[in-house]
Amino acid sequence: MTGAVDRLSEKSAILDVLARAAWALDEKRPAEFAAQFTDDALIERRTQDGSSEQWSAAAGSLTDFIDAAREGVSIEELQTWTSDAVFSGADDSDVSSTSLRIGSAAGGLSNVILGDDRVHDTLVHTSEGWRIRHRVIEPFGARDRAGTSPTWDGGAEVVTRDRVEIEALIADYAWALDMADIDRVLALFSDDAVMQDPYGRFAGSGAGGVRRFFEGLFARPEFSGRIHWVSQLVLTPVGEDYRVDSYALVPAAFPNGAANLHLVAFYRDLVRREKGRWVFVERLVGARWPREGESTTAQPAS
Q: Output 87 or 270, whichever has higher pLDDT.
A: 270
Q: What is the DSSP letter of 161?
A: P
CB–CB of 284/198 below 8 Å?
yes
User: 14-57 pLDDT, tens per residue?
Assistant: 999 999 999 999 999 999 999 999 999 999 999 877 789 999 99
For 2-139, CATH gives 3.10.450.50
Domain extents in the chain = 2-139, 162-286
d(CA 250, CA 256): 18
> What are all long-range contacts of 215-221, with beta carbons under 8 Å and residues at least 24 apart?
215/182, 218/180, 218/182
Distances (CA, A) of 169 to 13, 188, 261: 19, 7, 24
- Answer whether residue 123 shows pLDDT above 90: yes
d(CA 97, CA 87) in angstroms, rounded, equals: 9
Query: What is the per-residue DSSP string for 20-52?
Result: HHHHHHHTT-HHHHHTTEEEEEEEEEE-TTS-E
> Are 227 and 77 within 8 A, CB to CB?
no
The arithmetic mean of pLDDT across residues 250-270, rounded, is 79
Residue type, 83: S
Give me the pLDDT at residue 6, please.
61
Do 2-139 and 162-286 share a fold? yes
Identify the burial level of 250 via C-beta atoms within 10 angstroms of its C-beta, where 0-12 means exposed, 13-18 middle and 19 or more buried: buried
If one looks up domain 162-286 in CATH, what number appears? Answer: 3.10.450.50
The single-letter code of the amino acid at 149 is: S
| 4-21 pLDDT tens trace | 446 788 888 899 999 999
As a whole number of angstroms, the distance between CA 30 and CA 64 comes to 8
Q: Does position 239 have pLDDT exceeding 80, yes or no?
A: yes
